[in-house]
A and B are shown apart, each in its own frame.
Chain A
């Protein structure tokens, strides 16, 4: 059943003390996830993000509240819970073994449309959908809770109640989840926490514009904002912006030559489980790549270097450049 475990803290045991530099931004997390520990929350707190064999994603957050034995208790519970999660993909069974009152934990399993979860103690889950107020999920104490995830929804899983800090989620759907997570952590007061923030894939993007140079900046701005809302890593996003920009510029320059109609360019972007699918279509007339000297061949070469696959499909109706960019992991 075990596929792979990603996004864990580098050390499989729970750290007993905060890192000396006090920063937690460098914790690796898969596409769509941001992980934060408040400096005071490093002792006895942990998280795991795991890809389950059925394609869903499991998330665990937990803490052990007091005493010198925190680190050891937390470490023992964490490894047991992770094993059950990977074996069963069941949030309730994952937390079955948690009876210590000092431990708070939450297990969530996320699929295409829902989050199923179970809680123990006062670990909290908050869901925010675009253009709707956020809401805290009820504690389940041994039962299974579920909530629907609409496109672009944000889920905040935390080792403690987040209180008014959850206000940071309202209206945040267009903000990169890394920045939302930073804002949440800035607002959380009191004892330390570990938090995992997840952004569900947003609605696919469709941009339709006239094939003219002035459209390029408009298209680029909208794609840039969509990539942020989708939680795409900044460096990956820059590659995608350039690849799509090249395809759009090529269409703007060449599709209009010899076309007997106004040429329209359509840019689409969609985030699926682990890749971005991008397409730039025009209804103009492209000459074949081999028939063109220099620049267009150069643009295509650039696109090929920036994305994982690119295909040029030409019909009598126009041309489409289809691109796929794989995402971490």
Chain B
């Protein structure tokens, strides 16, 4: 079974809400990923999603992130190497959201 963990930190002053994701994301748990982000966002103008602990994600996750980026200012933290950076570049998600290399 696809296993991911989500840790949500609420907005604090100037800091937008933060969702830290680890594990794998695919069709089996992408709905949970999207709901977690939507709830964390809770009408906030911005959201930060930390993907540095993600081992695998595919275009299902990209769709969820695109849909979120349509309604809020999205910042994603990703590792400077690995397939997630490739995925964001090929999908064009890096043109509608801010990508920050971390770690």
Partners in one complex: yes
Interface residues of A (CB under 8 A from B): 213-214, 216-217, 220, 235, 238-239, 241-242, 245-246, 249, 252-253, 295, 298-299, 301-302, 305-306
Contact B28 A213 (CB under 8 A): yes
Residues of B within 8 A of A242 (CB): 56, 58, 83, 86-87
Nearest B residue (CB) for A304? B90
Contact B27 A302 (CB under 8 A): no
B1 at the interface (CB under 8 A from A): yes
B42 at the interface (CB under 8 A from A): no
Smallest CB separation, A282 vs chain B (Å): 14
Smallest CB separation, B44 vs chain A (Å): 27
Contact B63 A295 (CB under 8 A): yes
Residues of A within 8 A of B59 (CB): 246, 249, 295, 298-299, 302
B82 at the interface (CB under 8 A from A): yes
B2 at the interface (CB under 8 A from A): yes
Residues of B59-77 at the interface with A, using a CB-CB cut-off of 8 Å, are 59-60, 62-63
Q: List 17 A-B contacts (CB under 8 A).
A: A213-B26, A216-B2, A217-B3, A239-B83, A239-B86, A241-B56, A246-B59, A249-B27, A249-B59, A249-B60, A253-B27, A298-B62, A298-B91, A302-B91, A305-B86, A306-B86, A306-B90
- Count how many chain B residues have C-beta atoms less than 8 Å from C-beta atoms of the other chain: 20
Residue interface mask B77-94, A partner, CB < 8 A = 1: 000011100110011000
Smallest CB separation, A228 vs chain B (Å): 14
B50 at the interface (CB under 8 A from A): no
| Contact residue among A214, A235, A246, A301 (Cβ-Cβ distance under 8 Å from B58) | A246
Interface residues of B (CB under 8 A from A): 1-3, 24, 26-28, 56, 58-60, 62-63, 81-83, 86-87, 90-91
Contact A249 B2 (CB under 8 A): no
Residues of A within 8 A of B56 (CB): 220, 241-242, 245
Nearest A residue (CB) for B23? A217
Contact A302 B87 (CB under 8 A): yes
Residues of A within 8 A of B28 (CB): 213-214, 216-217
Residues of B within 8 A of A306 (CB): 86, 90
Residues of A within 8 A of B81 (CB): 235
Smallest CB separation, A246 vs chain B (Å): 6
Residues of B within 8 A of A239 (CB): 83, 86
Contact B82 A238 (CB under 8 A): yes
Nearest B residue (CB) for A238? B83
Residues of A within 8 A of B82 (CB): 238
A220 to B81, CA, bound (A): 20
Known: A238-B82, A245-B56. A213 touches B2 (CB 8 A): yes
Residues of B within 8 A of A298 (CB): 59, 62, 91
A242 to B2, CA, bound (A): 15
Residues of A within 8 A of B83 (CB): 238-239, 241-242
Contact A245 B90 (CB under 8 A): no
Known: A214-B1, A239-B83, A302-B90. A252 touches B58 (CB 8 A): no
Smallest CB separation, A52 vs chain B (Å): 34
A107 to B29, CA, bound (A): 52
A238 to B83, CA, bound (A): 6
Nearest B residue (CB) for A216? B26
Nearest B residue (CB) for A296? B59
| Contact residue among B2, B26, B90 (Cβ-Cβ distance under 8 Å from A305) | B90
Which of B2, B26, B63, B87 neighbours the largest number of chain A CB atoms within 10 Å of its CB? B26
Residues of A within 8 A of B90 (CB): 301-302, 305-306
Contact B26 A245 (CB under 8 A): yes
Residues of A within 8 A of B27 (CB): 213, 216, 249, 252-253
Nearest B residue (CB) for A294? B63
